[in-house]
Structure 1
């Protein structure tokens, strides 16, 4: 059973992905997120970059749907997401696969690193609002070089999805949120 911290982390991401706020994640939510992401970068919808970002988002949807839609209704509830989270500590391979894809999507300039600006864009795209991410980025950037490498991102992403440690930097990979276990 998911801990309170895991529930809160999953709820934060679920709420951001549930674009139409109907309480379910659906293919249309992920398509809307892809449109928001490409628009935030000023990409024409038919451009190669927009198609790549859309493919990554829709691939994540397909992976999530396959892993969690137990009732086969084409929608995913928070409880279904939490059931998947329960099994991630024993098998992190699915998390690593999505981490690699998300890293590629966030690394806008393709330099193999995520900058503070690219990270801010990720968070603002997910939340749909301007967000101060400087403090969190410093926490995530454990070696202090001003960037997140692919390897660093995989660790952070795995700590977020499969971890239950409020002191792990990856707990905050989607930004700060209130937690009774770790005050903001």
Structure 2
């Protein structure tokens, strides 16, 4: 069972993914996020890069989020989302590696536009602003918390650690809690 922090993290991510702010996440939210990402990175319509982004978002929906749809309405509400992450990612020992690590790798590859094996602050901000609707200020705060060696870029290992901590850790001090910016305080 998720503790208060984990529930707040899932609610925060859910709000970022609910592009049309209708209280559910559905395939159209993922399509809209993919389109924003394609535009933010300047990929030409129909290009291999554009197609890859859209395919990865479709896979994220099909393999990670859609199976959380308990009532079969084609949409995932906050309760389904939170329960699903607990069941598929947080609780099983291999949950992160089975469900999130492949997605994190895909996002890493998309962000690393210059192919140098590092995610710069600019690349990170472009991703978080377009794919997750994060403000630049929150993106900068997040980046600073995730750049563990303070070298001005994120390695694949730093990103995986942050993702795993965000999705699995109950520790208030885990740096990965900042992956999607500041998590709102509990009520």
TM over 0.5: yes
The RMSD of aligned alpha carbons is 1.9
Structure 1 residue matching 2:75: 3-state secondary structure: coil
Of 136, 142, 161 in structure 2, the residue corresponding to residue 136 of structure 1 is: 142
Deviations 1:15-52 (A, max 9, x none): 11111111111111100000011111222221111111
Structure 1: runs of 5 or more not aligned = none
Structure 2 residue matching 1:151: 3-state secondary structure: helix
Offset, 1:180 = 4.3
With normalisation by structure 1, the TM-score equals 0.88
Mapped to 1, the partners of 2:141 and 2:184 lie a distance apart of: 15
1:107 counterpart = 2:107? no
Task: Look up the match of 2:152.
Answer: 146
Structure 2 residue matching 1:76: 3-state secondary structure: strand
Task: Look up the match of 1:173.
Answer: 179
Structure 2 residue matching 1:15: 3-state secondary structure: helix
1:153-164 to 2 correspondences below 5 Å: 153-164=159-170
Mapped to 1, the partners of 2:76 and 2:66 lie a distance apart of: 10
With normalisation by structure 2, the TM-score equals 0.87
| Cα distance, 1:129–1:86 mapped onto 2, change above 3 Å | closer
Mapped to 2, the partners of 1:14 and 1:136 lie a distance apart of: 17
Offset, 1:156 = 0.6
| Cα distance, 1:180–1:69 mapped onto 2, change above 3 Å | closer
Q: How many residues align?
A: 181
Structure 2: runs of 5 or more not aligned = none
| Cα distance, 1:55–1:129 mapped onto 2, change above 3 Å | same
Task: Look up the match of 2:42.
Answer: 42
